[in-house]
Amino acid sequence: MEQKIARSEKSDFWHDKKVVVTGGKGFLGSYLIELLKEKKPKEIIIPKHSEYDFVNFEDCNKITKNADVVIHLAAKVGGIGFNQEKSGELFYDNLMMGVQLIECARRNNVFKFIAIGTICAYPKFTSVPFKEEDLWEGYPEKTNAPYGLAKKMMLVQSQAYRSQYGFNSIFLLPVNLYGPGDNFDPKSSHVIPALIKRMVEAKERGLEEVEIWGSGKASREFLYVEDCAEGILKATEKYNKSNPVNLGSGSEITIKDLAYKIKELTEFEGNLRWNLEKPDGQLRRCLDTSKAEKEFGFKAKTSFDEGLKKTIYWYTSQ
């Protein structure tokens, strides 16, 4: 997959570090690895899924031995339908991966651990924009609570381990990602690739209508994947606290407006039909991103329209 990666800032942090990136061959991971290569660390290790199962403790122990930095991107994840169908797997697999990797990293004296959480961890009823301090003010939206809570336990562990052991781990909360190379599998994709795929295929097949789940009233915030990768590396270099930090673009769009924007960009001329029997999910999601800018100088660069055009171009050119 071709990716246009922005030049990253030079930093002495990386030059003697052996860096493990779980999920390094995934959507976000592929961008992060390209940026990381520019940092020229001592070694980059990308565990193969066929060789390592991080639900298995011994595999977690093996991969963290002799590592200096572990960036944990690997996750089992999907959209609303996937979360409803696989809620038990999403809870168990994500919980065990996070808990065991952090524990093994501590035992093996890893210099720094970067845990990647999810905004699904936020309470269903949260003031908008979401502030990190509100993370424990209620239960998550039920359609993705098992996944959100499993990832949230890494925050609890990170704070507990810093308190008891002085273990340096950080916890980042990226908003919904999108971009070239996203997951377009209709069984597990998120809303942007799902809508792009449906409308491109409907246009090619001459269909008159595309069905979309929910009412379209819910809003979401999206972060271009390359921007997220840059934010994670900035935090790895500069942030050394266990307080959670949001990574986002700081703006939101309703699913209805998103759908019509994608309709226009894909040049699909048919109608959009809203399936009100399907859930909207959480009504609003938009992050307060001021802490990331204050603590480690991260601010998203890619405009939403620019990112969408790149994503659609990538998909239609495949």
Q: Give the three-state DSSP class for 294.
A: helix
CB 289 within 8 Å of CB 216: no
Known catalytic membership, residue 165: no
Instruction: Provide CB contacts within 8 A for 193, sequence distance 6+.
Output: 178, 182, 183, 184, 311, 315
Amino acid at 16: D
Give the number of other CB atoms < 10 A from CB of residue 178.
24
The residue annotated as part of the active site, out of 122, 147, 161, 178, is 147
CB 246 within 8 Å of CB 291: yes
β-bridge pairing 43-45 and 18-22: parallel
Helix and strand element counts for the chain (H, E): 10, 12
Q: What is the rounded CA–CA span in Å between residue 109 and residue 65?
A: 8
Instruction: Provide CB contacts within 8 A for 75, sequence distance 6+.
Output: 23, 94, 97, 116, 118, 151
Before 129, cis peptide (omega within 30)?
yes
Cα 146 to its chain centre, rounded Å, is: 16
**Strand stretches in the chain, DSSP E:** 18-22, 43-45, 69-72, 112-116, 169-174, 176-178, 209-213, 219-220, 222-224, 245-247, 253-254, 271-275
By annotation, the residues acting in catalysis are 147
